[in-house]
């Protein structure tokens, strides 16, 4: 009996040792450069991808099926370009507290509203060359898979040359510009047997010139526009390129050497998030709160514009155009442009300025659209949306040209049919639908 017991123990020890020397299967879900896209525009089927509610549902599904999955982001979560971006950014950061990312790289755009804004929510930000203690210098991630411990260390580099403070007077030492310090930290982590991950917003050719890739196992280079790049091995690093705007997620199924953390093989998959990916029910309260805030902000702006509005509006509305341009008016009336505002009401976005700017006439312009009860004659995409304010043209009996008279048709359509809103827009295909 003793012989059998000792033999059995020896067998277990041998099996454990053999397992530790083998490859460990690990799944990494990754993203980068959400760019302030809390939800997809939804105006076109091909652009109706992504959104935080769908992302939550997809991540929840993978975490339920595989609790060891690792979820990381290269950063670039927020934006500061539109009228509603600060509020959107606030709610994006709120949402990410529910998504339970293992690590998020910090990009300069994530500091658009200041450090205090970004750290208000407890998120796993990493900025390896940030000089103060606002963000972690690196983040350790551990998974135990089939008895094997896989250790990872996540680093993120803020390029000093892209710092907004460079444009200010005086000295602003927010980051360490010596990338050798980062290289030493990564090398030390690699020496400890960790799988090393570095996120940057730099292109690969620049990164290669700055830091050796032999101690980096997984490298995030600058995000591509929308579509993910195919991973490739460069030196010792597996280089991945996330897509932007939060339309998709990347999935890496890798085999990791349990002894030294190196990636021995990988499979890559891009996970789109179309309308068929149902919204996560647990994000309903968050989304309702966001929409209510958008509505209240909009109503405040309406009140302010009413107070400051003075004089006659330069916009006359489609009825005035109808008088002389009857046939053109009929073409317009039968087009989707005429019901553009109605389409916002259907999806509950008739209070969102990011949508209203292309679904009404003259939003944020003197005398332009304010509210459906105050300026109902400026609902939808009308003549003046394309050709400019028509008051002077009407008053002169057509002798004074409309402001955009010399614009090409392509330029006129390009005011709203941009890549984010109409990714498949081709003028030659769209123009026949409204030709007049």
Domain residues for the domain of 364 are 312-434
Note the pLDDT of residue 21: 54
Domain total in the chain: 2
Lowest-confidence pick of 144-158, 233-247, 284-298, 304-318? 304-318
Residue 6 binned pLDDT confidence (cut-offs 50, 70, 90): very low
Domain assignment present for 372: yes
Shared-domain flag, residues 119 and 229: yes
Domain assignment present for 396: yes
Shared-domain flag, residues 201 and 258: yes
Shared-domain flag, residues 271 and 325: no
For 46-77, the pLDDT digits (tens) are 889 999 999 999 999 999 999 999 999 999 99
Phi, psi dihedrals of residue 374, rounded to the nearest 5°: -95, -40
For 212-225, the pLDDT digits (tens) are 999 999 999 999 99
Shared-domain flag, residues 342 and 237: no
Lowest-confidence pick of 24-33, 171-180, 276-285, 365-374? 171-180
Note the pLDDT of residue 168: 46
Could you give the C-alpha distances from 255 to 18, 62, 267, in angstroms and in order?
16, 18, 9
Total-model pTM: 0.84
Are the C-beta atoms of 213 and 190 separated by less than 8 Å? no
Note the pLDDT of residue 287: 97
CA 226 to chain centre: 9
Q: How many CB atoms lie within 10 A of CB 23?
A: 15
- CATH number of the domain where residue 380 is located: 1.10.1130.10
């Amino acid at each position: 009996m003793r012989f059998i017991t000792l033999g059995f123990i020896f067998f277990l020890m041998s099996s454990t040792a053999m397992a530790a020397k083998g490859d460990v299967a690990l799944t990494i879900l990754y993203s980068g450069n959400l760019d302030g896209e809390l939800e997809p525009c939804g105006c076109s089927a091909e652009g109706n991808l992504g959104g935080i509610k769908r992302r939550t549902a997809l991540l929840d599904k993978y975490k339920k099926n595989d609790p060891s999955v690792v979820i990381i982001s290269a950063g670039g979560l927020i934006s500061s370009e539109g009228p509603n971006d600060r509020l959107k950014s606030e709610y994006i950061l709120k949402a990410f507290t529910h998504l339970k990312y293992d690590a998020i790289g910090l990009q300069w755009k994530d500091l658009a509203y200041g450090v205090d804004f970004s750290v208000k929510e407890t998120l796993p930000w990493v900025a390896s060359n940030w000089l103060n203690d606002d963000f972690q210098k690196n983040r350790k991630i551990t998974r135990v898979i089939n008895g094997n411990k896989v250790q990872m260390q996540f680093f993120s580099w803020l390029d000093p040359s892209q710092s907004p403070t460079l444009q200010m007077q005086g000295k602003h030492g927010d980051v360490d510009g010596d990338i050798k310090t980062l290289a030493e930290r990564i090398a030390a982590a690699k020496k400890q047997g960790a799988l090393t991950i570095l996120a940057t917003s730099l292109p690969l050719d620049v990164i290669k010139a700055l830091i050796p890739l032999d101690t980096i196992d997984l490298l995030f280079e600058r995000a591509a526009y929308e579509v993910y790049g195919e991973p490739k091995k460069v030196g010792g690093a597996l280089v991945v390129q996330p897509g932007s705007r939060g339309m998709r997620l990347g999935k890496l199924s890798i085999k990791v050497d349990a002894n030294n953390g190196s990636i021995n093989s990988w499979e890559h998959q891009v996970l789109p998030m179309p309308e068929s990916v149902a919204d996560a029910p647990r994000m309903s309260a968050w989304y309702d709160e966001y929409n209510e805030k958008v509505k209240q902000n909009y109503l405040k702006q309406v009140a302010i514009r009413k107070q400051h509005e003075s004089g006659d509006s330069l916009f006359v509305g489609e009825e005035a155009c109808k008088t002389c341009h009857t046939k053109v008016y009929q073409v317009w009336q039968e087009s989707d442009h005429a019901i553009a505002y109605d389409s916002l009401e259907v999806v509950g976005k008739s209070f969102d300025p990011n949508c209203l700017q292309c679904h009404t006439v003259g939003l944020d312009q003197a005398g332009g659209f304010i509210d459906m009860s105050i300026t109902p004659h400026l609902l939808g995409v009308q003549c003046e949306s394309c050709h400019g304010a028509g008051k002077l043209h009407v008053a002169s009996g057509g002798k004074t040209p409309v402001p955009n008279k010399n614009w090409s048709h392509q330029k006129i359509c390009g005011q709203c049919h941009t890549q984010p809103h109409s990714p498949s827009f081709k003028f030659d295909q769209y123009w026949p639908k409204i030709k007049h």
